[in-house]
Amino acid sequence: MKANILLNVEVISKNGRRHGLVKSLVVVNHVVKYLVINPGGILTKAQFFKPESIVDVNYKRLIVGSDKDIIKVKGKKVKNYFDEAFPLMDYPVVDKNGTAFGRIANATIEKDSYKITEYEVSRSFFDDLDHGFGIINASELVYKDQVLCYEKEMFDLGFKNQGTGIANKLLGVK
């Protein structure tokens, strides 16, 4: 499944209680560990849950098994849960020389293990128009110093034939 399916969907418990919208996916070692909920309101506690709690998901809603699956903590304690973690979308990617060349646009997630197999990297608006997103296997990216490090040069980024370049899709440009 694609990571964007899990974002901006309403979280509902099996009993029908609404918790808010999923705003972020927290990743550790290329595995989705938590989904962060934006419950709305100024004085609300941070809310998140483990992906194993998901019973059903589609583009509009995500159902968790129980209200008890939602973890609610004060802001100061959130760091304890998210140590060595990064938010998935829009996260910076650098090459082996430390040159920033893109941001995470999406990812492919295994359904049962929530392990990320590959990342879609947006290098620039115009490059995305021409070619679509670059695909990098998760094994080629390492999280360190608060960025994802690609083991090769940024120009070695291969493109799988996705047919996702907007210019290609709309205009038939090759």
User: Quick one: fold of 3-86?
Assistant: SH3 type barrels. (2.30.30)
> Does residue 19 sit in helix, strand or coil?
strand
What was the pLDDT predicted at 126?
A: 61
Give whole-number Cα distances, 107 to 17, 152, 169, in Å.
29, 19, 21
What was the pLDDT predicted at 161?
A: 45
What was the pLDDT predicted at 113?
A: 93
Which CATH superfamily, name and number, covers 90-171? PRC-barrel domain (2.30.30.240)
What was the pLDDT predicted at 75?
A: 66
What was the pLDDT predicted at 112?
A: 86
Q: Nearest-5° angle of CA 25, CA 57, CA 68? A: 70
Q: What is the mean pLDDT of each run of 10 residues along the chain (174 residues)?
A: 89 90 89 86 77 88 90 73 73 86 89 91 66 80 84 63 53 51
Question: What are the residue ranges spanned by the domains of the chain?
Answer: 3-86, 90-171
Q: How many CB atoms lie within 10 A of CB 40?
A: 9
What was the pLDDT predicted at 157?
A: 57
| Same fold? 3-86, 90-171 | yes
What was the pLDDT predicted at 50?
A: 92
